[in-house]
Structure 1
Amino acid sequence: MIPQRRDGGELEDREAERALVLPLFRFYTLAEAAGLLGISKARAYGLVHSGTLPAEQVGPHRQWCVDAGDLIALLRSTPKR
């Protein structure tokens, strides 16, 4: 099944990929989140430190994790190119 927009049109390739990937996981590493956003890991790290992208450091290695809901909210608030 091809994901559809609410207006009935088909999603662009990148949007379709996000629509299929995001609901599968509850949390993403910062590197995964950067890939889904189409930005570098360094830029994603900057978004975390500016407060634009909420994230937490978890585990013994203090790896950054982003909640899927926060990632979806950021994707929805970002203007389309």
Structure 2
Amino acid sequence: EAPKSTRTYEAYKRTEEAALADPSLPVPLGMRNAPTTLMKEVGYGKSYMYNPEFAHPVHNTYLYLSSGLIPGCDTFESGGDTWDEEAL
């Protein structure tokens, strides 16, 4: 996201509201810590990309809507905008 974008905060708020509405929702495997080889093999942390390791914006998808985790809930609305990193 761009330095002054509020979409991340809005997505966080929607995600928090969904978690409060149904606290029994499981933590997605891609978000879970994988301290052991077995956990890595099972898929813990598999899709996680550490943002500072990349020169470009990284889009992590934590809530897979197709899995039915939160039916009909789209937490992040991407504006599709990009910016010139050299100008920052």
The bucket for the TM-score relative to the shorter chain is under 0.3
Q: Which structure has the larger Rg over C-alpha atoms? A: 2
TM-score, normalized by length of structure 1? 0.24
Instruction: Judging by fraction of residues, say which structure has more strand.
Output: 1
Higher relative CO (Cα under 8 Å, sequence separation at least 6) belongs to 2
Which one has a larger percent helix, Structure 1 or Structure 2? Answer: 1
